[in-house]
Amino acid sequence: MQGSALLSPRALGALASAALLLPLVPGATAAPATAAPTAAAHAPSAALQRAFAAASAEYDVPQSVLLGVSYLQSRWDAHAGAPSVTGGYGPMHLTDAAGAVADAHHHSHGTEDARGDASRAARTPAPEPAPPRPDQLPERLRTLSRAAALSGLSPERLRRDPAANVRGGAALLAAAQRGLGLPASADPADWYGAVARYSGADDAGTAATYADDVYEVIRAGERRTTDSGQRVTLPADASLVPDRSRLGGLGLRAADTGRTECPKSVACEWIPAPYEEFGEDDYGNHDKADRPDSQSIDYIVVHDTEGYWDTALKLVQDPTYVSWQYTLRASDGHVAQHLRLKDVGWHAGNWYVNAKSVGLEHEGFLTNPDAWYTEAMYRSSARLVRYLAKRYDVPLDRQHVIGHDNVPGTTPASIPGMHTDPGPYWDWAHYFTLLGKPFTRTAGPGSAVVTIRPDYAKHRPLYTGCVKAGEPCAPHGSGAVRLHTAPADDAPLVKDIGLRPGGQDSTTGVNDTGARASTGQQYAVAERRGEWTAIWYLGQKVWFHNPREQPTAVESKGPLVTPRAGLTEVPVYGRAYPEKEAYPASVPVQAVVPLPYKLLADQKYVTGGRTPGEYYYSPTFDTAGHTVVRGKEVYYEIQFGHRIAFVKAADVRVTKR
C-alpha cells in the first residue's frame, strides 16, 4: 500500500492493465528503463535497429510501437525470408495468402487411431475438406499485398528484405491509424486501436488481447540478438498506459465465450465439437466424462495441426472425425475451445493418455522447418497451459507437458503408427521460459541426471525427408539431439526395436523419433567421456555430443527408478491399466500388454511420479454404462526413450536424487 502511494496515476494504470496478463518471462530478457541504442547502433549488426528507426520516421509511427508489434509477431527474426505457418514474412509478419494454404491435418496421417482404445473399433477419420482458394482467405492472411500498395515496395522485397518488411509494417500501422480518424501521434498510448487492427482479428476480444500483449512488451522492454545476428533493443516504458477506448471504433464482432474455460489473459471462443450418434454403434467425436471428479487430468499434450486454421475448425466440428480441447491460431494467438475440460477428446492415440489429458492443437507444420511459429501463438499457448496446470495441479515439466511425439504406443503393434508432431522444430526451451519454468542447471558437475538443453538457434542437426524422403531439410534451429551407439559422430544411430522390429538403425528422418532426445527431457547419466555424455535410453546405453563450449544438456537432479534387487529385467508399458481382478463383470478386461523394450538391471530412468492403474470404459453413446476401473496396481511414469512409458511400482525401486 505504501509503495502504490508513490506511483503516478499513469503508472497505476499500467499496473492495472498488466494485471490482465499472466507473467511470461520473469525478468529474463527485459531491458532496463535506461536502456537505449548505443554506439553499437552504427555497427553492421545494428542494421535492423536502424531500419526500425527509419520506418518510424518515414511513417510517423512511434518506434516503440513498431518494435513491440514486430516482437510479438516474430521476436524481430527474419527467418531468411521463409514464411511462417500462416504465410507471414519477415519481422513484421506480412502475410501472403498463397503461402497460407495447406490441405492436410496430422490426424489423417499414418496409422495411429487417435482414440487409442482397444475396446472399440479404430476410428478412421473422415476425408478432409479441400483447402480454400487464396482469394477466399481472410484479410489477416493477405497483408503483404496491402503493404506493397501502401509502401510502393514490391512483394518480393517485402518478403526477402527485412528493412523493406519493416517499412511495409509501418505503412500498415499508419494506415490503420488514419482509418480510425486519428493523427499520427508521437505518443505510443494513442496507437492502441491501430495495433489492435494490425492483429487482423475479426473479434474484439482477440484484437484487445493482442494489443495488450504488444503494450506489455513495450512496458517491460526487450533486447535480443536475432536469427541473422542483428542486435535489437526496445527500451522499457513502464509507465505507458494505452488509450483502450479506440477499440470500439474497429467494428469487430463479439466472440461467443459463454462456455469457454480459459484464463482472462487469452482471447478464447467457444466452437463446440459434436457429440452425436450416427450409424450403427458409432458416435462422435469425443466422450462425455466428469473430470477431475472421475479421473485426474495429468497431462497436457501439444500438437500441431499440419494444416490451416479454418480446415482444423471444420474437422473438429465433424462428428465422423476426432477431437481435441483447444485450437490456437498462429497470426494472433486466438484460441478456440471445442470440448469442456471434463470431457475426453480423441487426439493422442493412447486411450490412457486421452482420458487423463488436455489436447492443444497449434496451427503449424512439422516437416517444414522454416514455417515458423509466431510469438503471439507461443505466448497464448503458454498462458493457457499455465492456467490448465494450476487448475489441475499438472507439473510444469516435460513428463507432463508433452508433445504428441512423446505419447507412447499402447501395444507393440501400435508403436510404428504413433504420430511425431510437433517435431524437432518446436522451441521447447522458449516455450518453458514463457511458462516461467526455464530449463536451468540444478546440480553440479558429475550429476546423476541431465536435462537436454541445446541452444535452439545454434543447434542445427541434419534432418531429412521434409520434402522428399532422404533429401536434407532446410538448415534450422532445433531443440532435439541425436543419439549414437558410441561416442562418435560417425557411430550408428540407436536402434528402436519398437519402430523397427527387424532391428534396422534409426535414421535422420524428420519423423523418425527412434534416436532423438528433446529439450527438457531428463535422463540418467550412464557415463561421460570427453565431449560426449551417455544416458540410459530404450534399455540401451546411448551417446550424444555435449561439448563444453556449446553444451546440449545441463546438469540436473531428480528421482530415478531401477529394477528391484534380484530382477534382471523389468517390462515396460505404454499405458497404466489396472490388474484383471479389478474389472467388474460389465467391463471387458483390458490386457496389460508390455512393449517390446526392457528396463535392465543397473539401468536407471528419471520418473515423473507414481500413478494408479486406471481404465475409463466408455464405448457407447449412452453414458449410463461409462465406468472408471481402478485396481491395486500402481505404476511409475518414466522418461524411457523419446516417449514416456510406465513400469509397475512392484518391479522397481526409487533411488535418491
At 6-47, the pLDDT tens digits run: 333 333 333 333 333 443 443 333 333 333 344 444 455 999
For residue 132, tell me if it sits in a domain: no
Contact between 612 and 634 under an 8 Å Cβ cutoff? The reply is yes
Instruction: For cell 512409458, name the residue.
Output: 645
Shared-domain flag, residues 330 and 473: yes
Q: What is the pLDDT of residues 88-113, one digit of tens each?
A: 999 999 998 766 554 445 555 556 78
The domain in which residue 65 lies consists of 4-101+137-250
* 569 part of a folded domain: yes
Is residue 114, in this structure, part of any structural domain at all?
no
pLDDT in tens, 58-69: 999 999 999 999
Predicted confidence band of residue 84 (pLDDT cuts 50, 70, 90): confident
Which pLDDT score, from 0 to 100, does residue 305 have?
86
What pTM was computed for the model? 0.91
Instruction: Give the percent of the chain with pLDDT over 70.
Output: 88
CA distance 216 to 238: 9
Phi, psi values for residue 326, rounded to 5° = -135, 145
Which one-letter amino acid corresponds to residue 386? R
Confidence of residue 307 (pLDDT cuts 50, 70, 90): confident
Mean pLDDT along residues 593-610: 97
Q: What is the pLDDT of residue 41?
A: 43
Q: Domain boundary residue among 503, 536, 558?
A: 558
Q: Which of 461, 580, 597 is closest to 519 using CA atoms?
A: 461
Note whether 412 and 310 are same-domain residues: yes
- Of the given ranges (326-340, 354-368, 593-607), which has the lowest mean pLDDT? 354-368
Percent of all residues in the chain with a pLDDT value above 90, rounded to a whole number: 77
Confidence of residue 1 (pLDDT cuts 50, 70, 90): very low
Residues 84 and 161 in one domain: yes
Please tell me the predicted confidence (pLDDT) of residue 366.
61
Question: Rounded to the nearest 10 degrees, what angle do helices 204-220 and 63-74 cross at?
Answer: 110
Same domain, 246 and 362: no
Task: Write down the mean pLDDT value for the chain.
Answer: 89
Angstrom distance (rounded) from CA 642 to CA 600 = 18
What's the pLDDT tens digit per position in 491-541?
999 999 999 999 999 999 999 999 999 999 999 999 999 999 999 999 999
d(CA 451, CA 398): 10
pLDDT at 526: 98
Residue closest to 358 by CA, chosen among 288, 414, 303, 417? 303
Is residue 54 scored above 80 in pLDDT?
yes
Which pLDDT belongs to residue 25? 40
CA distance 357 to 345: 8
- Considering the domain architecture, whether residues 239 and 350 belong to the same structural domain is answered as no
Could you give the residue ranges of the DSSP H alpha helices within 308-423? 309-316, 351-355, 375-392
When divided into structural domains, the chain yields a total of 3
Short-list 207, 173, 203, CA closest to 190: 173
In this structure, are residues 207 and 201 in contact, taking their beta carbons and an 8 Å threshold?
Answer: yes
Does residue 647 surpass a pLDDT of 60?
A: yes
Q: Does 538 lie in the same domain as 482?
A: yes
Does residue 70 share a domain with residue 194? Answer: yes
pLDDT for 29: 37
Q: Specify whether the CB–CB gap between 69 and 61 falls below 8 A.
A: no
Q: In this predicted structure, what is the pLDDT of residue 107?
A: 56
CA distance 240 to 11: 7
Among 12-21, 120-129, 230-239, 559-568, the minimum mean pLDDT is found in: 12-21
pLDDT at 85: 79
Say yes or no: 572 and 462 in one domain.
no
| Predicted pLDDT of residue 3 | 34
Q: What is the CATH number of the domain that holds 386?
A: 3.40.80.10
The per-residue pLDDT for 22 is: 40
Instruction: Examine residue 129 and state whether it is found in any structural domain, yes or no.
Output: no
Alpha carbon distance 465, 470 (integer Å): 5
CA-nearest of 404, 358, 414 to 107 is 404
Q: Give residue 38's pLDDT.
A: 44
CB neighbourhood size of 442 (10 A)? 14
pLDDT tens digits, 433-491: 999 999 999 999 999 999 999 999 999 999 999 888 899 988 889 999 999 999 999 99
312 in a domain, yes or no? yes
Instruction: Name the helix (H) or strand (E) containing 284.
Output: strand 283-284
For 328-339, how does the pLDDT look when each residue is reduced to its tens digit (9 = 90+)? 999 899 999 999
496 and 403 fall within a common domain:
yes
